[in-house]
Structure 1
Amino acid sequence: MRQKVIVVSLVILLLFLAVLPAQGDGELVLTPLGTYETGIFDGGASEILAHDPETQRLFIVNAEDVSIDILNISDPVSPALVNRIDATEFGGSANSVAVMDGLVAIAIEAENTQDPGSVVFLDIDGNLLNTVEVGALPDMVTFTPDGQKVLVANEGEPSDDYTVDPVGSISIIDISGGAEAATVTTADFTAFDEQIDSLKAAGVRIFGPEATVSQDLEPEYIAVSPDSATAYVSLQEANALAVVDINGGTVSNIVPLGFKDHAAGLQTYSFANLPSLGTTAAGQEITLGGFSGLYFEGFNPANGNLIFVTHPDRGPNAEPVDTDGDGLNERPFPLPDYQAKLIRFEANPATGTAEVIEQIGLTRADGTPITGLPNLEGESGLANADEIPIDLQGSALDYDPFGADMEGIVIAPDGTYWMVDEYRPAIYHFDEAGALIDRFVPEGSNEGGVEVGTEAIPAVFAQRRANRGFEAVAYEDGKLYAFIQSPIDNPDVEGDDNSKASVINRIVEFDTATGTTTAQYAYIIEGGASDKIGDAVSIGNGEILVIERDSAVGTEALKKVFRISLDSATNLNDLDDSVVGPDGTLESLDADGLAEAGIEPVQKTLFVDLVAEGYLAGDKPEGLALIDENRIAVLNDNDFQLLGTFDVETGLLDDNPEPIQPVLGIITLNNALDASNEDGGINLTSWPVKGMYMPDAIATFEANGQTYIISANEGDSRDYDGFSEETTVGEVELDPEAFPNA
């Protein structure tokens, strides 16, 4: 509904501004050039304007004066009044104006607002061409981009006592034969009257006393698709949009806009009834855990629960130790026969619990189970070499050429799974049943005579630090983006010293259709203690969210999600091997060095600080998923609740006095709200409430072949003598836990 505002200034001014180029800080500077005074006091004036670029004229409605000013702004410093058109003979208020190709259209409401209004057509000089009748309270008028039609949003507001409530509608005026021959088609909402219950259930607000759908919906503003075929109409009080078939002259759909969640950021979910993963040779049971990677599948239609997919990494393992005295550490595996697997689980918002609903064992193409054991024997700390696997009594275990230390996971549109692991590093592709389709590894990985996969990744990636290969993966439009966990050790040295000194991580862009590496990008990690990637997820348009972390726990730990953009980053594949290949210089550079070399890293900005949001589940947030535009999910690797030490004589794992639990965290992004206009300032904070969008003005634009709608969300309410939906916070009983200071 439109609210009448008493103007307290002496005159109403039209202000002309010059927009200067962006300054160094990216801000635009607006500089006043000239003003125009309407001379109208204490009334709505200079409310809506339209610009004709051919004549450099402005057409401005003075609502309550029921007049239209025509200004010449060829000299914006000194705008000049050409004419003031008196439109009182056509109705009680001029509400909107539009101009195109020398034709001016003005929306005018009737003296009695509930009666049909009109659209008045003028030529560029203000001469009357035609008047047509439209619906009640025409509030906005616009031309279609092709200039063949004029559309009018007829708000249809009720009388103040709410005894008369006209239907809202959209008038479609065909001017293809000229304004003098204009014809009107009215698209209303009567076809939806029988759908009132389903519309309410979907989230459309229909609440006027005894109102039908067609009476309660009040079209506010119109945006038209670039092809002039579809109109999108804001239904402000209903918190919805109407979709109009312009050529068919009908409303084809009503779309609810939902809610903005202003609640505090984090909701956590504990895992209920985690199953046993297996029993050690000494009889100790180990519980499922060690979750690394996270993918959001959607909502369970039966109960609304959230469904995710994850996987354990390489299964339970203890800290490296030299059990045989040869000077080399071995990696103990308490469950040597552990089979890599997918875990599907549901998170229940009502109970705050998560529960495993499916496990899928991963196998080679021939059905052989894939273990979590290392792949290749080699010189410790160098390329293509893995740790030495043993059991808890120090006995050597066989290597598994296809063994996996799984980290990131995504599901492709065809339902197959793509995963990355830290060993080679490798990119795995599995079918829906968990059978291996292919495994992609660095070039040269098979040269030792053991087949470990298809060589498709640059050879330098084999120089990863042991168990710090691919840690994260994101997927967009057929491309995988695999993130190395820590900088590559380049040049490759036994102690991984070059990796430890570097802040340059790499991202591989992998084409899933061709099975080839199509790009590499440089990523500058924060450095210092924050030296590891946790997980990643695509948010579209070449942007990815990435977890960076340290190894600490508690409130002083570093666990942050960054938003990165690949758009301007240098494709490292285009550079010489002396820079990006084995023994190359890339990893020895810092940010200044990259700039001097002309290498643009991915751009990154802080997206959310997990610790600041209260997510404190251990030291390893290694799962990240996008739920929707407002929410992300985070999952920790709890190392299967193991302490990591054991007695080689007995094969018993040492008890962990403080076992870490797996915790799913769902973080609502910053929709902070300034809830008071009486505290003397702007205080944006989270509140356990939800808000509606309730758009007023909307517009469409097109990018990459896709039409988008942008809205100005004013918010509104109905407040009449005969009906009011307004109340004050003081009249509401607030939950003292949610609002402790109320």
Structure 2
Amino acid sequence: MKKRLKQAKWLALALTAVALGSGSATATAAAAGGEAKEATETSFGLWAGGKPVSADKPPVVIDGSTYVPLRTLAELLGKQVEWNEWEQAIRLKAKPTVEATHDWNDPKELGGGIREGGFSGLVRLPNDPADVFYTLADRGPNGEYGKDKLRTFPVESFVPRLYKIKASGGSIEVLETIPLKLPAGKTDRFTGTTAISGLPNTEGTDEVPYDGTGTKKLAYDPDGLDLEGIAYSPSDDTFWLSDEYRPSLIQVKRDGTILGRYIPQGAKDALVAAGAQSELYDVLPAAYAKRIPNRGFEGVAISPDGAYLYASIQSPLANPDKKTGEASRSLRILKLDLKTKQPVGEYVYIAEDASMFENVKQKDVVISDLSGLGTDVLLVDERDKNAGSEAQIKRLYRVDLTKATNVLGQLFGGKELEALTPAELRERGVVPAAKELVADVAKLGYPHEKLEGIAPIDRNRIAIVNDNDFGVDGYGDDGKLKVNAAAKTQLFVVKVEEPLY
């Protein structure tokens, strides 16, 4: 089989620059010049340590020299390989390892065979033991009913909550459960108490909520939250949470009392009219209201000194429309000054190119969590929608914003940010966030679709948790909810050789 390829691009993406036959200098010169060459796939066997080796791409012969996929050689050497598209560079690092795995073995039942779960974020407080973390559950068990995919809430009484957990000896122990609540004297419109729900906020802007049978509409809750991320502010001993609905950022006390909800400009009137009881601050850029439903704020992080908060949108905005957002690779990371609680920066994060992977759609390449490593330096979780052996993007990146262009409030010659390709960003002088691969978790046997929470334990260890969606596995042909009792909630500890900070 013969293929004509641009040599420079092909070498960068698939091959080692070391030829296994004669003429390696010629191959390198051809790559530098970009001259088209004829590449012939071979059926050569690859062996290492007396065992056959499977390559992600077959070896090829160019000008009499045999080239072997770099990724295959790197993995044989115990390395992970990263192709940096923006810098046009390849990095090799020592391959991370899984140091420990801890299971939540005894989650409480919520009703109908559904058990607690849904971990969607993770943070470790500075003075806590290395095995103690805070996490949170999202809006609660939910599913999609029928051909119209109606959004159901089988446990409509579920209260979004924080958990203080200990992960040791292979098990996750819940030390404390902290339900979210309005301040004393406030009454949630849906629950009739200070406790909030996980139901959508307003008609016309959110999904329509149904009960677990998919036949009865539920009321909206203007104070309801779909929580996805958690960060800790050492300056005032509060948590900050990210929410997908508006989207919004929520400041809460350690006891779960909501102090304030920060929303996009222009979103306040509808919530007030619907009876919201939370303190609302419409200070975020109005563009965030164009989030694709169920794709709002996902990750949130605070710099170690407590000065700045960073929030990431899960997917590109529907800006100017959903079609543009689903095709875009340009996600936004927002920066707030926590003294003024005002946005001071916004940066472009370029997601991986789905066309470089099998069975991955661009709309399903998302950011799931953030963690602060330093001022303008973050640990970012980027993932696809696949699980197990089909997963290809379950990656932790060290992301540096220090040299990235601050695009807050900027226009781009009549085009929205989400409509710009990486090449067009470069043409306009926009420098995106710098990405450096820390751990390719899909290569470590990670079994879950949702790598949802990340928290550095120290300079060389990272804890990650999955969202098991409470075991909800859709509806059967009989219209009844299916619950997968085997769907685990797990915390993995990943060890990396190069320090995170």
Normalised by the size of structure 1, how large is the TM-score? 0.49
Rounded Cα–Cα distance in structure 1 between residues aligned with 2:179 and 2:146: 29
562, 566, 570: which one aligns with 2:397:
562
2:379 pairs with 1:545: yes
Deviation string, structure 1 residues 181-233 (Cα, Å, up to 9, x no partner): xxxxxxxxxxxxxxxxxxxxxxxxxxxxxxxxxxxxxxxxxxxxxxxxxxxxx
Is residue 299–residue 307 contact of structure 1 (8 Å, CA) maintained in 2?
Answer: no
Displacement of 1:297? 2.6
Q: 1:454 offset after TM fit, Å?
A: 1.8
Provide the residue aligned with 1:446 in structure 2.
268
**Residue 195 (structure 2) aligns with:** 369
**What secondary structure does 1:460 align onto?**
helix
Which residue does the alignment assign to 1:637? 467
In structure 2, the CA distance between the partners of 1:316 and 1:646, relative to structure 1 (3 Å rule), is farther
CA distance in 2, matches of 1:451, 1:648: 38
Q: How does 1:616-627 map to 2 (within 5 A)?
A: 616=447, 618-627=448-457
1:434 aligns with 2:256: yes
Residues 484 and 533, structure 1, Cα contact 8 Å, conserved in 2: yes
Cα separation, partners in 2 of 1:578 and 1:440, compared to 1, 3 Å: farther
Asked if 1:480 is matched to 2:283, the reply is no
Query: Superposition pairs for residues 107-122 of structure 1, below 5 Å?
Result: none
Q: Aligned-pair distance for 1:577? A: 7.6
1:485-512: CA deviations, max 9, x gaps? 00001113xxx21111100000111222
- Offset of 1:646 from its aligned partner? 5.3
Q: Which of 115, 118, 128 is residue 290 of structure 1 equivalent to?
A: 118
The 5 Å alignment of 1:296-695 reads 296-297=124-125, 306-321=131-146, 329-348=149-168, 351-365=169-183, 366=186, 368-378=194-204, 385-393=205-213, 394-413=215-234, 414-448=236-270, 449-450=273-274, 453-476=280-303, 477-492=306-321, 496-528=322-354, 529=360, 531-557=365-391, 558-576=393-411, 584-616=415-447, 618-645=448-475, 652-656=480-484, 659-670=486-497
CA–CA separation in structure 2 for the residues paired with 1:566 and 1:266: 30
Change (3 A) 1:263 1:419: closer
| Distance in 2 separating the partners of 1:431 and 1:486 | 29
Shift of 1:542: 1.9
Query: C-alpha displacement at 1:535, in angstroms?
Result: 0.7
In 2, Cα distance between the equivalents of 1:572 and 1:541? 18
Match of 2:408, SS state, is helix
Superposed CA offset, 1:650-695 (max 9, x none): xx42243x732011001111269xxxxxxxxxxxxxxxxxxxxxxx
Give the whole-Å Cα distance in 2 for the aligned partners of 1:375 and 1:263.
42
SS in structure 1 opposite 2:437?
A: strand
CA contact (8 A) 1:456 1:516 kept: yes
**% identical equivalent positions:** 37
Task: Tell me which amino acid in the other structure corresponds to 2:419.
Answer: S
Q: Distance in 1 between matches of 2:422 and 2:486?
A: 39
Q: Distance in 2 between matches of 1:574 and 1:488?
A: 15
For residues 388-413 of structure 1, the C-alpha deviation after alignment (integer angstroms, 9 at most, x for no partner) is 00002221101111111101101111
Runs of 4+ in 1 over 4 A off after TM superposition: 646-649
Q: 1:648: Cα distance to partner?
A: 7.9
1:299 & 1:574 partners in 2: Cα distance? 38
Q: Which amino acid aligns with 2:218?
A: L
Secondary structure in 2 matching 1:654: strand
User: Could you say if the C-alpha distance between residues 533 and 554 of structure 1 is closer, same or farther in structure 2, counting changes exceeding 3 Å?
Assistant: same
- Per the alignment, in what secondary structure is the counterpart of residue 287 of structure 2? helix
Gaps of 5+ in 1: 1-261, 323-327, 379-384, 673-707, 709-742
| 1:289 partner SS | coil
Change (3 A) 1:544 1:288: same
Alignment of 1:7-406 (within 5 A): 264-276=97-109, 278-279=110-111, 284-297=112-125, 306-321=131-146, 329-348=149-168, 351-365=169-183, 366=186, 368-378=194-204, 385-393=205-213, 394-406=215-227
CA shift for structure 1 position 606: 1.1
Is the 1:274–1:355 Cα contact (8 Å) retained in structure 2? no
Deviations 1:123-181 (A, max 9, x none): xxxxxxxxxxxxxxxxxxxxxxxxxxxxxxxxxxxxxxxxxxxxxxxxxxxxxxxxxxx
The code of the aligned residue for 2:243 comes to D
Name the CA shift for 1:431/1:500 in 2 (closer, same or farther; >3 Å): same
The whole-number CA distance in structure 2 between the counterparts of 1:511 and 1:299 is 24
TM-score normalized with structure 2 length: 0.72
User: C-alpha distance in 2, partners of 1:648/1:517?
Assistant: 49
| Paired AA for residue 180 in structure 2 | L
Give the distance between the partners of 1:406 and 1:377, measured in 2 at CA.
19
Displacement of 1:518: 1.4
The aligned residue for residue 232 of structure 1 is: none
Q: 1:631 to 1:311 in 2, by over 3 A?
A: same
Report the secondary structure of 2:292's partner residue: coil
Cα deviations across residues 523-575 of structure 1 (Å, max 9, x unaligned)? 10003235111111111142111111111011341201111111111111252
* 2:442 aligned counterpart, secondary structure: coil
Distance 1:665 1:272 in 2: 14
Determine if contact 1:266/1:615 at 8 Å carries over to the other structure. no
Measured in 1, the distance between the counterparts of 2:366 and 2:97 equals 28
Q: Evaluate the alpha carbon distance shift between residue 514 and residue 411 of structure 1 in structure 2; reply closer, same or farther with a 3 A threshold.
A: same
Letter of the 1:387 partner, please give it: E
CA-CA distance at 1:467 after TM superposition? 0.7
Corresponding residue for residue 43 of structure 2: none
Describe the SS at the equivalent of 1:612.
Answer: helix
Query: How far 1:298 sits from its partner (Å)?
Result: 5.6
In the alignment, the residues of structure 2 paired with residue 465 and residue 305 of structure 1 have an alpha-carbon distance, to the nearest angstrom, of: 37
User: Structure 2, unaligned stretches of length 5 or more?
Assistant: 1-94, 188-193, 355-359
**Aligned CA distance change for structure 1 residues 628 and 429 (closer, same or farther; 3 Å):** same
Instruction: Tell me the amino acid that sits aligned with residue 422 of structure 1.
Output: E
Q: Secondary structure at the match of 2:316?
A: coil
Residues 647 and 436 of structure 1: CA distance in aligned 2, closer, same or farther (over 3 Å): farther
Distance 1:264 1:510 in 2: 34
Output one character per residue of 1:632-660: Cα deviation in whole Å (capped at 9) or x when no partner: 110000010111225786xx42243x732
Q: Distance in 2 between matches of 1:438 and 1:341?
A: 16
| Aligned-residue RMSD, C-alpha | 2.4
